[in-house]
Structure 1
Amino acid sequence: MIFKKGEFFNGPGGIAQGAKMAKVIDKDGVEYKVEHEWANDIDESACQTFIQNICPDRPESVIHQDVKELDIEKLTPVDAFTFGFPCNDYSIVGEKKGLNGDYGPLYTYGIKVLRRFQPKWFIAENVSGLQSANEGQAFNVILRDLKDSGYKITPHLYRFQDYGVPQTRHRIIIVGIRNDINKEFRVPAPTHGIGKLPYKTALEALTIPPIPIDALNVEPTRHTSKVIEFLNHIPAGKNAWYEGIPLELRLNVKGAKMSQIYRRLHPEQPSYTVTGSGGGGTHMYHWSEPRALTNRERARLQTFPDDYEFKGGKEKVRQQIGMAVPPEGAKVIIEAILKTFAGIEYESIDSKWNDGHFVLEPELDFSTV
């Protein structure tokens, strides 16, 4: 069974790459998989990256256009739909305007697709800060609209390090299955952590196997001698506020001190969250070499394959990588959807969404693992 998939806000194709990798076979030998049908994004570089890696034989199927100007009626019917609607107004870092911002209402264009084509299932994705936007009301409005479009929904706050992604990345994923389909999606059980497989570390991600010499997107960041000296005084896992940094090198910053500033990876732990930013000491930094990570290293932490070519300038590429859903994480969720439709049992857990908030165990302190 093939599910033809449409996608809004496609970015560089993290979800689409996960969908390409996801396949299951039922007891009768029938293969369940996902095929790209069309996609849309406002960013030209992201569209070029998507075309290059997901559908090089069908460039016309990727529409570079503002979704607000897109004629949804001209799109072809789909069986599946995914949309990681822009998170700018929901992010923990920022003004958190929620539904009142420029980006907050963009989820409604995904709702229009659901109501127009009624695909069998959908995936909606956003940052964990979505649950607190507009004093918690934005998320409830979005959930209501998704349900009213004709779907049984399963929201969950996925901690991707629990699924083998070498990065502490938390994202809200909402899976919906159409009401008239007698199937119930269940959240796939974590595979990594205490009592399970070991967490995948930054060291494993960036060195096993070594990044090929001829790899793409490996342009280095140029550092001043002062930044190099500064980094040399910061141990693995520490940041710009480490007490061992000489006074004359310390940053003169008042107020909040972000933990990500000049923070070096710890080789024996998953990476901290890869983001789309890069200025002011937020490039992400190697644990032993006094330098920022290359975009290819950042892509490794995001689980993109080494032959995945990102288009655009260095800063555009960094933005694309940081905004993406890790393909390996997307694959886990999409394979669970395919197993649901194929009638294949899989280990699962209950959704942690309960009475207006997510109920999760405390975050693991990786320094103790």
Structure 2
Amino acid sequence: MGKIRFVDLFAGIGGIRLAFEQAAYSLEIEAECVLSSEIDSDAQFVYEKNFGHKPLGDIHLIEQLPEHEFLLAGFPCQAFSHAGKKEGFGDTRGTLFFEITRLLDTYKPQAFIFENVRGLYSHEKGRTLATIKHEIENRGYSFNAFLLNSANFGLPQNRVRIYLVGILDASPTFGLISDVGPKDSHSYNPQQLSLFYPLKKSVAVADVLEENPDNKYDCSSAFVEVLKQIYNNDLNRLHGVRLIDYRGGNSIHSWELGLRGKCSADEIELMNRFILKRRNKIFGNEQDGKLLTRDQIASFFDHPNLEEILDSLVAKRYLKIINGQYKPVAGNFSFEVYKFLDPSKISVTLVASDANRLGVYHNNRVRRITPREAARLQGFADSFILHPNDNKAYHQLGNSVSINVVKAVAQEVIMKTLYYTQQRTQRFENAIAHSSRNNQKPV
């Protein structure tokens, strides 16, 4: 198989294709994309800029796949709303995964690689994944599912995704090892999880940061001044800080920033204790969202002016009263940054919804990470053309795959597929030779 052909479904901006082509090139094999499909016009635009042709649109309109050896698909994480309601398996009808199986029935390639979110592994208590496995195996493919973390493949990002792989009429043993990695991006230690990616020096956020990005990525001066006040001008303390209102720990909250009105030290102290203490079992079994009475608050915040402090926090809308009980008015307050990355650690997961609000303190600047830095977190080379609209670029990169991980998966799948193809060819040739000998007439 001097040249391999592949189909790229749910292609996005082309991350899976790019990684697959890199994998083939590393194995000195030519790879040709014979069909790609992506419904989003903005993603089509970026795909065409980088690969020279525009993907087909709606997958429902594709009637048949052309000849190819590998099927790639980063299919969307739909709800699989009927999963688990029929003979122990979910029902894939009406989902986009069904479009993959429909097209598989028009032409069966030698192997496939699918990528999806981690939650697919446990969705509907595993019944959804069992459904997918059932549908794939019924078509003659092996089926393996790996949970892989981008941080284990040379990228400074704590990103876990599921990779589904299989080969037609084969029973391969892959060298990949599932490992979801650390719960916290600050406790990561690198692991060797693929023969193609041996243990190397771990990379950190600092390795992907631009030295002098455009000033448009700087946070506002008002926001920076408040941060300086909170940390007594030591902005190095921003490393790893979250801006969130329903957790304690290494976090900054709206009342500390004074987003709804400046708070006194006592008001800040009360709010910080409130969001921690309301999780205590003595106030109920709920994990979050406990409403507390004045007396319950007084049990952990004994202050002679408690009534005044509570009234002030209610007036500023940091607290609200429901049936005589107090509840924090927590949520997303559109902070300029929702998480400051630590340059010496790895990043939290890049996601489409708020990739544009990841921050960093670097070279004496408090700023958001740039689209190019987001691309580097995903393993895209600087030569890859991003969408000119920053917000669209952030969104696309948050939805994309990590190039290094897909490349490692593709290398394994390509090598195993070539092996089994060679084995089948050899068996076929042996059978022909055997038949030819048996049919020879004696002289």
TM score, norm. by length of structure 1 = 0.74
* Structure 1 pair 231–324 and aligned structure 2 pair: CA distance change class (3 A): farther
SS of residue paired to 2:132 = helix
Q: Deviations over 1:176-198 (max 9, x none)?
A: 1001x4754442698x8158323
SS of residue paired to 1:117 = coil
Q: In the alignment, does 2:359 pair up with 1:285?
A: yes
SS of residue paired to 2:148 = strand
Provide the aligned length of Structure 1 versus Structure 2: 316
Aligned identity (percent) is: 24
Aligned-pair distance for 1:219? Answer: 8.8
Gaps of 5+ in 2: 84-89, 180-188, 193-198, 232-236, 245-249, 260-317, 319-327, 421-443
Aligned-pair distance for 1:315? Answer: 1.9
Correspondence for 1:176 among 159, 162, 166? 166
Q: Are the equivalent residues in 1 in contact too, given 2:91–2:131 (CA < 8 A)?
A: no
Instruction: Tell me how far apart the structure 1 counterparts of residues 93 and 240 of structure 2 sit (CA, whole Å).
Output: 33
Instruction: Tell me how far apart the structure 2 counterparts of residues 324 and 275 of structure 1 sit (CA, whole Å).
Output: 9
* Structure 1 pair 135–189 and aligned structure 2 pair: CA distance change class (3 A): closer
Correspondence for 1:227 among 219, 223, 227? 223
Q: Are the equivalent residues in 1 in contact too, given 2:115–2:163 (CA < 8 A)?
A: yes
Q: Are the equivalent residues in 1 in contact too, given 2:241–2:251 (CA < 8 A)?
A: no
* Structure 1 pair 305–104 and aligned structure 2 pair: CA distance change class (3 A): farther
Q: Are the equivalent residues in 2 in contact too, given 1:202–1:266 (CA < 8 A)?
A: yes
Which residue does 1:129 correspond to in 2?
Answer: 119
SS of residue paired to 1:303 = coil
Q: Deviations over 1:72-94 (max 9, x none)?
A: 22x4221111111112548xxxx
* Structure 1 pair 235–112 and aligned structure 2 pair: CA distance change class (3 A): same
1:164-313 correspondence to structure 2 within 5 Å: 164-179=154-169, 181=170, 183-187=172-176, 193=190, 196-206=199-209, 220-221=216-217, 223-230=219-226, 232=228, 233=231, 235-241=238-244, 242=250, 247-249=255-257, 252=318, 254=329, 262-278=338-354, 283-288=357-362, 289-311=365-387, 313=389
Which residue does 2:62 correspond to in 1?
Answer: 71
TM score, norm. by length of structure 2 = 0.63
Correspondence for 1:140 among 120, 127, 130? 130
Q: Deviations over 1:148-191 (max 9, x none)?
A: 22200111101111111221110000011001x4754442698x
Instruction: Tell me how far apart the structure 2 counterparts of residues 198 and 250 of structure 1 sit (CA, whole Å).
Output: 42
AA partner of residue 5 (structure 2): K
Instruction: Tell me how far apart the structure 2 counterparts of residues 262 and 127 of structure 1 sit (CA, whole Å).
Output: 22
Gaps of 5+ in 1: 91-96, 345-369
Which residue does 2:37 correspond to in 1?
Answer: 40
1:20-99 correspondence to structure 2 within 5 Å: 20-23=21-24, 31-54=28-51, 56=52, 59=53, 62-63=55-56, 65-68=57-60, 70-73=61-64, 75-87=65-77, 89=79
Q: Deviations over 1:108-135 (max 9, x none)?
A: 1111222221101101111001123234
Which residue does 1:318 correspond to in 2?
Answer: 394
SS of residue paired to 1:35 = strand
Aligned-pair distance for 1:103? Answer: 11
Q: Are the equivalent residues in 2 in contact too, given 1:85–1:125 (CA < 8 A)?
A: yes
Q: Deviations over 1:303-354 (max 9, x none)?
A: 101111123532221111111111122111111122223449xxxxxxxxxx
AA partner of residue 187 (structure 1): L
AA partner of residue 72 (structure 1): E
Q: In the alignment, does 2:416 pair up with 1:340?
A: yes
* Structure 1 pair 89–238 and aligned structure 2 pair: CA distance change class (3 A): farther
Larger Rg: 2
SS of residue paired to 1:157 = strand
AA partner of residue 62 (structure 2): D
